[in-house]
Amino acid sequence: MHTITFLGTSAGVPTRFRNVSALALQPENSKKWMLFDCGEATQHQIMKTSFSAYNLERIFITHLHGDHVYGLCGLLASKGMQRSESPLEIYGPKGLQEMLECVMQHSQLNLPFDLKIFEIDGKSSMRFGAMKIEVVELSHSITSYGFVISFDNMPGRFDARKAKEMNIPEGPLYARLKAGENITLSDGRTIKGSELVGPPRKGARIVIGGDNDNPLLFSPYAPFDLMIHEATYTQRDFERLEKKFRHTTAKQLAEAAQEMGVDWLILNHISPRYDKNGRVVELLEEAKRYFGGRVDIAYDFMKIEI
């Protein structure tokens, strides 16, 4: 299973309960992990988990608003102070390179590791092993992107318990059976790998959205097993706002997810107003009225498997 850990789920400013945007993705069977967005103090959030800066392989930045990117320089500097030499790649919108280089130059930040910055656009698409990432241009007050992550199909699960019950000695034989080979044991029995390995598993397709006022922009890539997207306000609160910011409401997201065929919807980037008096439930209730699948509200350090 791939794991996703929410490191910051608040919109715009941190609250006592939520930090600003950041999310960790760790693919199945991988020590390495990836970070999506890096709001201020993300390094503090990381310290409260088992993730290390050493194993952080790539960072993806959805857009250059401070609540998504102001933690980057601190994170880089700390990794440098730890003398961590593992290379790091950062993918983000145009301007990211200049932004980082300016800070690094003026604060004399010399990193002991190889840092590569890649500026992306709405046509970018990357492949890392069994994972493909497609960049989708979104609709927000500045250039903002979302990521569609498609994992290749995975081999079926190996039933180690059944193998033990069949008195197959643990060790290299298990690896051969896992690979689907047939083996002959010293007692003469022949065991087929297919007896112990389940059917291939369909690779997950996940959306991680940046700030955006039009979630249907993801529809060319639908359907999705999991969609993580901002739902900054309820519809009612949004309509009462004097100045409209370009964000999505719970209702709007739920309707879009219903239309696109989403199995599991997670509302993220929550306005600080909902942290008071348990109001966050209003977002959940609104989303449930318009979306029939599984729906959750993200909270800091929530960990899910997919």
Q: Which residues bind Zn ion (CB under 5 A)?
A: 65, 67, 211
Phi, psi of 97 (to 5 degrees): -60, -45
Q: Quote the CA–CA distance of 92 and 61 in Å, as a whole number.
A: 5
Angle between helices 250-260 and 280-290 (to 10 degrees): 30
Which one, 22 or 260, has the nearer CB to Zn ion? 22
> How near is the Cβ of 12 to Zn ion at its closest, in Å?
6
Nearer to Zn ion, 211 or 213 (CB): 211
Angle ∠(6,231,281) on CA atoms, nearest 5: 85
Q: Output 85 or 121, the one with its CB closest to Zn ion.
A: 121
Query: Quick one: which of 293, 229, 223 has its CA closest to 260?
Result: 223
Of 64 and 173, nearer to Zn ion (C-beta) is: 64
Of 37, 67, 237, 300, which residue is the catalytic one? 67
Q: At its nearest, how many Å lie between Zn ion and the CB of residue 35?
A: 16
Q: Cα separation of 67 and 12, whole Å? A: 5
Contact between 201 and 157 under an 8 Å Cβ cutoff? The reply is: yes
Specify whether 67 is catalytic: yes
> Which residues share a beta bridge with 60?
36, 91
Residue 149 burial (10 A CB sphere; 0-12, 13-18, 19+):
buried
199 beta partners: none
Catalytic residues: 67
